[in-house]
Homo-oligomer: A and B are copies of this chain.
Amino acid sequence: MTPSEADIDLWFDFASTYSYPAVMRIEAAAADHGLSLRLQPVVIGPIFADLGWDTSPFNLQPAKGRYMWRDLARICASEDLAFERPVPFPQNSARAARIALFARDGGWDLAFTRALFHAEFAEGADISNPRVLDGAIQLAEQDPASVFTAIDAPEEKPKLRAQVETARDLGIFGVPTFMVGGEMFWGYDRMQTALDWAVVRKNGDTR
B-binding residues in A (CB < 8 A): 51, 60-61, 63-64, 66-67, 70-71, 74, 171-174, 184-187, 189-190, 193
For A63, what are the chain B residues with a Cβ–Cβ distance below 8 Å? Answer: 171-173
Q: List 15 A-B contacts (CB under 8 A).
A: A51-B61, A63-B171, A63-B173, A64-B173, A64-B174, A66-B171, A67-B184, A67-B186, A70-B184, A71-B185, A71-B186, A71-B190, A74-B193, A189-B189, A189-B190
Query: What's the number of copies of this chain in the assembled complex?
Result: 2
Q: Which residue of B lies closest to A185 (CB)?
A: B71
For A70, what are the chain B residues with a Cβ–Cβ distance below 8 Å? Answer: 184
Task: Give complex CA distance A164, B116 in Å.
Answer: 42
- Check if B190 sits within 8 Å of A67, measured CB to CB: no
For A193, what are the chain B residues with a Cβ–Cβ distance below 8 Å? Answer: 74
For A60, what are the chain B residues with a Cβ–Cβ distance below 8 Å? Answer: 51
